[in-house]
C-alpha cells in the first residue's frame, strides 16, 4: 500500500468513530519528519480512546503496526506514529491548546478525496 492509501484508511477509521474536524497536512512538503499528519478531535476522553483503537485495529488488519504510541493513559491526546504518518487524536480542549495546524501552517492541507 502507498502512504496515501494508508492515510485514507486512517481517515476512514477516524470518520467511522465520528471524529470531528479531521485534517490531513502534508508535513513532508516542509519537513523530513514524516509525510502526513492526520489530526482529529473527539468530543470526550472515551471517544479519543475509541478512535485511536479503531485506527490501530484497521491498520493491524493490513499488517501495519505503529512504531510508537503515546497518550493512551491520559486519553486527552493520543499520538500514533506510523513512520510516514503521524496520527493525532485530541479532545476539544487540547486540540485548541496545541493548535498543530498553526504550528505547521506552511504545510499544505490535503483533500481526502485526492488520496488513494
Predicted local distance difference test score (pLDDT) of residue 75: 85
Q: Which pLDDT band, with edges at 50, 70 and 90, does 116 fall under?
A: low
Does residue 4 have a pLDDT over 90?
yes
List the chain domain ranges: 3-105
Pick the CATH number of 3-105 from 3.30.565.10, 3.30.460.10, 3.30.870.10, 3.30.1490.190: 3.30.460.10
Tens of pLDDT along 24-63?
999 999 998 999 999 999 999 999 999 999 999 999 999 9
Following DSSP, what letter does each residue of the chain receive, concatenated? --HHHHHHHHHHHHHHTT-EEEEEE-GGGT-SS-SEEEEEEESSHHHHHHHHHHHHHHHHHTT---SEEE-TTT-SEEEEE-SSEEEEEEEHHHHHHH-HHHHTTTSPB--GGG--
Predicted local distance difference test score (pLDDT) of residue 115: 84
Percentage of the chain beyond pLDDT 70 is: 99
Predicted local distance difference test score (pLDDT) of residue 12: 97
Amino acid at each position: 500500500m502507498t502512504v496515501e492509501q494508508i492515510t485514507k484508511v486512517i481517515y476512514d477509521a477516524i470518520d467511522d468513530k465520528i471524529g470531528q474536524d479531521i485534517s490531513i497536512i502534508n508535513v513532508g512538503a516542509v519537513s523530513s519528519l514524516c509525510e502526513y499528519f492526520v489530526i482529529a478531535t473527539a468530543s470526550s476522553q472515551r471517544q479519543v480512546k475509541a478512535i485511536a483503537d479503531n485506527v490501530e485495529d484497521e491498520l493491524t488488519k493490513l499488517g501495519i503496526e505503529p512504531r510508537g504510541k503515546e497518550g493512551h493513559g491520559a486519553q486527552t491526546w493520543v499520538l500514533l506514529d506510523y513512520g510516514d504518518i503521524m496520527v493525532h487524536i485530541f479532545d476539544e480542549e487540547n486540540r485548541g491548546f496545541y493548535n498543530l495546524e498553526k504550528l505547521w501552517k506552511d504545510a499544505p492541507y490535503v483533500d481526502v478525496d485526492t488520496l488513494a
